[in-house]
Structure 1
Amino acid sequence: MSITLDQSTVLVTGANRGLGKAFTEALVAAGATVYAGARDPESVTVAGATPVRLDVSDDASVAEVAARLGDVTVVVNNAGIGRGGSVLTAASLDGFREELETNTLGPLRVTRAFAPVLAANGGGAVVNVLSALSWATSPAVGGYSASKAAAWSLTNVTRGELREQGTLVVGVHVGYLDTDMAAHVEGPKLPPEDLVAQVLEALENGDEEVLGDDTSRFVKSVLSGPPAHLVV
């Protein structure tokens, strides 16, 4: 199940900045037709992409877009948020709920809505942007990590369910990216363009997983070890 990018019509969620913007730019450059989804479509600045109003945390918004964009062959579930803080001592669980709505239920909503569209168009692909924190965690990012862990599990579930209709499902794991979301973090950060290049290559090759950097490769390698190794 390989994807020919210059013959693809792609929806990118969270396309107005960071990794989403990098996906949008690279896909336009590769010759794809690109719908750039964002809560505020006026914030999409990539020439050659079509801005689309889309809130992945809202059922009606996702359903409306799926009904309108019947030519989509590839979905990139990129939209994500990070609220930070301890899930045990935070004043409320509202931040964690927001992370679950966007990071976990968001990709699931979009995939559910577009699965029939992809089937009608020959199968296509779904790309889920996950994280090395799908597998490892720390108290400062407990909610984000839990939301991405659930998204990883759902990626595996949807891969199995969509295989029969010929849809490739790609899970993307990476440590810190050099974007606004990780601006406060010190240490190695992968340029988003580098990760995008790996994902587009995976689509063209029909690969189901991308481990984008040394961090994600290391964390996956210790999954079979003691649980303490997965807490930073």
Structure 2
Amino acid sequence: MTAPQSPQPNSNPSRTASASRPIGRGLLWSAGAFLLGSLLVYNSVDTSADPKPQSHSAVVANPHSSASPAVPDLALPRSAPKRVSIPQIAVDAPFTQLTIGPTGQLNAPPAGDKNLVGWYKDGAAPGERGSAIIAGHVDTKTGPAVFLQLESLKPGATINITREDGIIASFKVDSVETFNKARFPNERVYSDAPTAQLRVITCGGAYDRKVKDYVDNVVVFAHLASFRNA
């Protein structure tokens, strides 16, 4: 599996997984327009790219975002996420941090854990102002994974993220969209935001056995709707 270079400062057939599919897991980043990052979730060990994930310090307003008109001041201090719960699709999973490795590549979540979600730690934290990026596998070599049913989410659904500071940040889903990986809308998905936003990403669409990868990405756009103490 290959993944992105280090961030720059300021810068179908059935979707049910089959154990017979020769699928690896990985995260692939591609260069975004206007120095924006672009996270693509891949299921192939043979992919490559020259991506530049967005630095946490970069702040770029995106007038074309799918964000709903969330209350501008509804935001939290930075705190890492511990667990995500999405009741509508029976998701309850811990987080692992997605980091840049010694070769300048983004380390993907462990391939052997089907119930694990990754958070790009150099981006916004869930609940913090900006676009927090989380990703998970749709399936693994042994069967369905944490985000198998992600594309079935509906607008208005709730995503609850428990943070290390003891706060549960609740996000409201604005839209769930599917994008071809070859035409992924980098700016729309990865532009930073003046409000607390969330992007949840997994693979989708048909599985291409020739390239050992899904052809699409499913992206959930959501905004911080409320928060409470755990």
| Structure with the bigger percentage of helix | 1
When the two structures are superposed, what TM-score results if normalisation uses the length of structure 2? 0.32
| Structure with the bigger percentage of strand | 2
When the two structures are superposed, what TM-score results if normalisation uses the length of structure 1? 0.31
